[in-house]
């Protein structure tokens, strides 16, 4: 009998697993022991291949980060066109990587990984944010739901207990260290610290009283836990004006903060790029920063029109058309009061918010299709 197993196991030799005395007995192994030995060889082979893939993944991630830095320099100092073209090449490069190294959630046409130009018809005749109430689902669908035209509905929170229940203390008790709400958070759940020092939702919801009262703060997050969603939806319901045939997202978005802070100007990009690097969260953060600096956007994982209900406090919303529509559409500003619901397609309108109330601002929202 040869010392080298045949077939697919030929990459590893028996001497890699046996000492000298065992090698002498190789020819006398029973069939059962031989099968066990071959299983061990297969495991060793798989382990070696996995280590090799892991090394390649780390090399790929370093190469990608270096390429992003190079494109950023090109964008800043030479030509925006070259920088954007390089971004498309980067997307094509990533799309071709092995699935064990990178995961790409995007259309086949890699040009759409970053926000494509839009038709300016959606904003050309929009000069203000409409304010309505007692609007029927049919009227809302025909005028606002899918047109890209922003609107504020005044009476959507009439029967919500959220306006009385939601508070910083409520969410702190809901998202305790022992709760499923924090334990089930994954890379699909997002946390936005904005201009604060918080590195996680847990840190943001465990502020000291001194930190809460002496410095402004504002942050937001998405809830991906079904049990927590059940608790939240005891206090709010689907907005009455949404089209009857539309479906709502299972993800809730909560934003909370004090006067003087809010979300910076941004647009939401639905395409996601996640690479399985040794430090996934750090790499995702780099991608977010790269997209913000090179493309002028912050990457949020949202792709549908959305509504946001102002449960407490008030915020000023500043809306800007996308760059390709700056000469055809105009900027707008509107104050959303407690009890109002703003409906906005944040995939096409650049937007920022600023809390202007003495009371803590608390909003909850979601998407619809």
Indicate whether 282 belongs to any domain: no
Structure confidence at residue 344 (pLDDT): 95
Largest Cα separation within the chain, whole Å, is 89
Structure confidence at residue 331 (pLDDT): 96
Q: Which residues on neighbouring strands pair with residue 307, listed in sequence order?
A: 343, 366
CATH number at 342 reads 2.60.120.650
Indicate whether 101 belongs to any domain: no
Structure confidence at residue 186 (pLDDT): 54
Structure confidence at residue 339 (pLDDT): 97
Structure confidence at residue 26 (pLDDT): 52
Structure confidence at residue 27 (pLDDT): 54
Q: Where in the sequence is the domain holding 212, given as residue range(s)?
A: 120-268+303-367
Indicate whether 57 belongs to any domain: no
Residues 181, 175 contacting (CB under 8 angstroms): yes
Indicate whether 44 belongs to any domain: no
Three-state SS for 219?
strand
Residues 346, 302 contacting (CB under 8 angstroms): yes
Structure confidence at residue 48 (pLDDT): 53
Indicate whether 242 belongs to any domain: yes
Structure confidence at residue 84 (pLDDT): 54
- For residue 194, give every residue at least 6 positions away whose Cβ sits within 8 Å of its Cβ, in sequence order, or none: 218, 219, 220, 257, 261, 262, 263, 264
Q: What angle do CA 309, 256, 365 make, to 5 degrees?
A: 30
Indicate whether 3 belongs to any domain: no
Q: Along the 369 residues of the chain, how does pLDDT read in single tens digits?
A: 444 444 433 334 444 445 556 555 555 555 556 556 656 655 655 555 445 444 444 445 656 666 666 666 665 565 555 555 555 555 555 544 444 444 444 443 343 345 577 889 999 999 999 999 999 999 999 999 999 999 999 999 999 999 999 999 999 999 988 777 777 655 568 899 999 999 999 999 999 999 999 999 999 999 988 889 999 999 999 999 999 988 888 889 999 999 999 999 887 755 433 333 334 444 444 444 444 444 444 444 446 899 999 999 999 999 999 888 989 999 999 999 999 999 999 989 999 999 999 999 999 999 998
Q: In angstroms, rounded to a whole number, what is the distance separating the alpha carbons of residues 85 and 78? A: 13
Nearest to 171 by CA among 213, 225, 215, 214: 225
Residues 37, 17 contacting (CB under 8 angstroms): yes
Structure confidence at residue 73 (pLDDT): 64
- For residue 75, give every residue at least 6 positions away whose Cβ sits within 8 Å of its Cβ, in sequence order, or none: 82, 83, 84, 86, 293, 294
Structure confidence at residue 299 (pLDDT): 40
The two three-digit tokens of residue 150, written as one number:
């922003």
Structure confidence at residue 170 (pLDDT): 96
Indicate whether 287 belongs to any domain: no
Q: Which residues of 188-215 are buried (b: 16+ CB within 10 A; e: fewer)?
A: ebbbbbbebebeebeebbebeeeeeeee
Give how many domains the chain has, as a whole number: 1
Indicate whether 142 belongs to any domain: yes
Structure confidence at residue 362 (pLDDT): 98
């Amino acid at each position: 009998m040869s010392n080298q197993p045949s077939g697919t196991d030929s990459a590893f030799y028996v001497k890699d697993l046996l000492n000298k005395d065992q090698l002498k007995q190789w020819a006398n192994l029973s069939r059962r022991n031989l099968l066990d030995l071959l299983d061990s060889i297969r495991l060793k082979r798989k382990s070696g291949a996995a280590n090799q893939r892991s090394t390649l993944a780390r090399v790929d991630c370093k190469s990608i980060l270096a390429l992003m830095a190079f494109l950023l320099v090109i964008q800043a100092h030479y030509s925006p066109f070259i920088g954007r073209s390089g971004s498309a090449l980067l997307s094509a490069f990533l799309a071709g990587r092995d699935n064990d190294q990178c995961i790409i959630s995007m259309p086949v046409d890699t040009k759409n990984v970053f926000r494509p130009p839009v038709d300016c018809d959606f904003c050309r005749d929009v000069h203000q944010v409409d304010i309505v109430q007692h609007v029927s689902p049919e009227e809302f669908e025909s005028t606002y739901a899918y047109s890209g035209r922003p609107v504020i509905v005044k009476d959507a929170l009439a029967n919500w207990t959220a306006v009385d229940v939601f508070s910083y203390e409520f969410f702190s008790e809901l998202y305790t260290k022992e709760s499923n709400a924090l334990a089930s958070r994954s890379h699909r759940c997002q946390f936005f610290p904005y201009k604060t020092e918080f590195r996680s939702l847990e840190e943001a919801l465990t502020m000291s009283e001194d930190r809460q009262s002496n410095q402004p703060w504002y942050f937001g997050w998405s809830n991906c836990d079904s049990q927590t969603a059940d608790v939240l939806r005891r206090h709010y319901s689907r907005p009455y004006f949404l089209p009857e045939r539309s479906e709502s997202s299972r993800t809730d978005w909560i934003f909370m903060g004090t006067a003087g802070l809010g979300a910076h100007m941004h647009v939401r990009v639905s395409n996601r790029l996640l690479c399985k690097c040794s430090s996934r969260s750090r790499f995702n953060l780099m991608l977010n920063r790269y997209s913000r600096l090179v493309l002028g956007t912050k990457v949020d994982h949202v792709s549908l029109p959305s509504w946001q209900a102002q449960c407490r406090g008030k915020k000023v919303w500043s809306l800007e058309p996308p760059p390709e529509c700056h000469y055809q559409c105009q900027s707008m500003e509107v104050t959303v009061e407690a009890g109002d619901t703003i409906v906005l397609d944040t995939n096409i309108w650049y937007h920022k918010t600023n809390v202007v109330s003495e009371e803590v601002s608390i909003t909850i929202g979601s998407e619809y299709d």
